[in-house]
Structure 1
Amino acid sequence: MIAFTNTVNFMKLKTPAMLLSCFLVLGSLGLIFFKGLNFGLDFTGGTVIEVGYSQSADLSQVRQTLDAAGYGDAVVQYFGSSQDIAIRIAPRDGVEQSRISNEVLSALTAATTDTVDLRRVEFVGPSVGAELKEQGGLATLAALLCILVYVAFRYEWRFALGAVAALAHDVIITVGLFSLLWLEFDLTVLAAVLAVIGYSLNDTIVVCDRIREGFRKIRDALPVEVVNESLTGTLSRTLVTSLTTILVLLVLFFQGGALIHGFATALLFGVLIGTYSSIYVASSISLMLGISREDLIPPPVEKEGEGTESLL
């Protein structure tokens, strides 16, 4: 064994980290399958109506008004401020979008003395929403498959399995957070999940490259020592990249408005969990699969005519 100075022993916590990851992944899968996701209009279809009041609106009163008008299944929530309200109504067969928005606006106007303005109306058919949901899932699976092939070709199959496991880990836990908190899951959140895959992959590739170089340069060291030394070498880069990204996402989260709140939430959580998985999940799985120096050193290439001197 070689004693490295100023090396952080990351792999000392390998077993607790893997147990924590298994718990979070299984818990997230349980939430996704049994509780489900709060799919937005992009996936479920329906009508979204945004209205503005001259004063603060009472959500309970708005719900009672819509219930009396025949829209008891409407989802009502504040949209940016207490004066702006977003109303989501499930698709209705044989009912035109303009009729729904007119009936809702008339009911809300008649129930209050405040001025009610119609700000925005959006409609998505249920078939389009189902198609977007299917294509979004296929896009995520295709991204993971392409990453598996690339990393296996570029580095080593043990690194490939570790990298894809880390990416799947990040996606599942991020989606599980949206199920746990019952946050709306729409196309912007799906885009954020795909962005999390790209961000986490970048971190994982840097770690894999550093570990490969560590095995080639450090001789007579155990694999776990090489991994610890390599992770320590990338620590400053990982922290600086993650912190600067998180600062930007915090600004988007608090100041970006309701339209990108879900996007910022998914990316903010995804960056945190992606940084953790790049250090522990990908590296730990590669070690458990038996990565070694011999796997990462290219075989010697015999030159033409080499070894023929002994025959002469």
Structure 2
Amino acid sequence: MLEKFMESYKLLIIIPVIITIISLGLVAFNGLNEGIDLKGGSLAVLDMNQPTASSSLEAQLKNSLNEQGLGIEEVDVLSNKGTDISVQIGSEVNSTAFNEALNGTGTVTSYNAIGPILSEEAMTQVYWAMAFAFLFMSITVFIIFREPVPSIAVILAAASDIIISMGGMSLFNIPLSIASVGALLMLIGYSVDTDILLTTRLLKRKEGTVVERAREAMKTGMTMSISAIASMVVLYLVTILLIPEAVTLSNIAAVLIIGLVADILTTWLMNLGILRWHMEARR
């Protein structure tokens, strides 16, 4: 199978490229749902007097808050476990107004509001974190390999992983938050690990044929990726089925699952293909 890939690698490079372009389109036209820590808003944990349907609670809170002249457009129930309910509001609302909106049907046990200034500052920090992560990763890769084509291939693979992950977040409505940004930064590390493994085996080792070296790299890299994916799938299922209020953990796991699957494509189709192309051109 690997031998056939090595023969038709130029065509297979196109697959992750197409997926990356589609993901860019999803982010551009569908956008990303920002969490309250990045766009501002309010998050409350409620202890209701009796089990309440999510839709009826959303309608009650929205109507009551708008009657107070707050102009609320977005009220979402994040988790509903009978009488324990987590609610997110797309605007900053003080706790007094929120208690009045409940109208005696429950009490607020935890409350957090983030204003537009703090959310704008958080968004700025996100941009700087992503920019510095890519900058220092790129510098490190160029120092290690000291060749433009292999270095650019590693950087392209990492960028594609992030773009595909963001496309998945847009498609499955996973919010962009401080936590999910942390997951995206982790993906840069995962991507660079497998790409550097592949590039080192192919370019720096001389024993065996190119196909044999690529096969050994794939065995190690796929073991790493599948192990990481399996652990994230377990985390996602546990949080969804047993701890539904742990939305942050399930979002992190979902982002990592998408990114790790994307990394398999970008490493073993795109990066391996580019390296094979580069090695042929050097002969």
Contact 2:232 2:253 in 1 (8 A): yes
The C-alpha deviation readout for 1:188-246, integer Å capped at 9, x for no partner, is 100000001101111111111100134x335xxxxxx61x3222012221232222222
Contact 1:45 1:129 in 2 (8 A): yes
Letter in 2 for 1:237: T
Find 1:61's aligned residue among 48, 56, 61. Answer: 56
The C-alpha deviation readout for 1:244-267, integer Å capped at 9, x for no partner, is 222221221112332311111111
Partner Cα distance (1:293, 1:30) in 2: 33
Q: What residue is the counterpart of 1:234 in the other structure? A: 217
Greater helix percent: which structure? 2
Using a 3 Å threshold, how does the CA distance of structure 1 residues 53 and 286 change in structure 2: closer, same or farther? same
**Equivalent position SS for 2:15:** helix
Partner Cα distance (1:200, 1:90) in 2: 34
Using a 3 Å threshold, how does the CA distance of structure 1 residues 81 and 243 change in structure 2: closer, same or farther? farther
Q: What residue is the counterpart of 1:181 in the other structure? A: 172
The answer on 1:81 being equivalent to 2:81 is yes
**Equivalent position SS for 1:48:** strand
The C-alpha deviation readout for 1:75-113, integer Å capped at 9, x for no partner, is 212326354332222335xxxx5xx32322333244x4x
Shift in Å, 1:139: 1.8
Partner Cα distance (1:119, 1:10) in 2: 57
Find 2:122's aligned residue among 117, 120, 132. Answer: 132
Shift in Å, 1:161: 0.4
**Equivalent position SS for 1:241:** helix
Q: What residue is the counterpart of 1:191 in the other structure? A: 182
Percent of aligned pairs sharing the same letter = 22
Q: How does 1:191-270 map to 2 (within 5 A)?
A: 191-214=182-205, 216-218=206-208, 226=210, 228-256=211-239, 257-270=246-259
Contact 1:171 1:197 in 2 (8 A): yes
Q: What residue is the counterpart of 1:106 in the other structure? A: 100
Partner Cα distance (2:140, 2:23) in 1: 27
The C-alpha deviation readout for 1:240-298, integer Å capped at 9, x for no partner, is 2222222221221112332311111111121121122121222222344x335969xxx
Contact 1:158 1:291 in 2 (8 A): no
Partner Cα distance (1:80, 1:198) in 2: 35
TM-score of the aligned structures, taking structure 2 as reference length? 0.86
Partner Cα distance (1:148, 1:53) in 2: 51
Letter in 1 for 2:279: I
Shift in Å, 1:72: 4.1
**Equivalent position SS for 1:38:** coil
Letter in 1 for 2:38: F
Shift in Å, 1:55: 4.2
**Equivalent position SS for 1:122:** strand
Shift in Å, 1:119: 2.6
Contact 2:61 2:75 in 1 (8 A): no
Larger radius of gyration: 1
Contact 2:78 2:88 in 1 (8 A): no
Partner Cα distance (1:142, 1:10) in 2: 35
Partner Cα distance (2:262, 2:217) in 1: 17
**Equivalent position SS for 1:79:** strand
Contact 2:180 2:255 in 1 (8 A): yes
Query: Which consecutive residues of structure 2, in runs of 5 or more, have no partner in the other structure?
Result: 240-245
Letter in 2 for 1:264: A
Find 1:47's aligned residue among 42, 46, 58. Answer: 42
* 252-261 or 81-90: bigger deviation: 81-90
The answer on 1:121 being equivalent to 2:138 is no
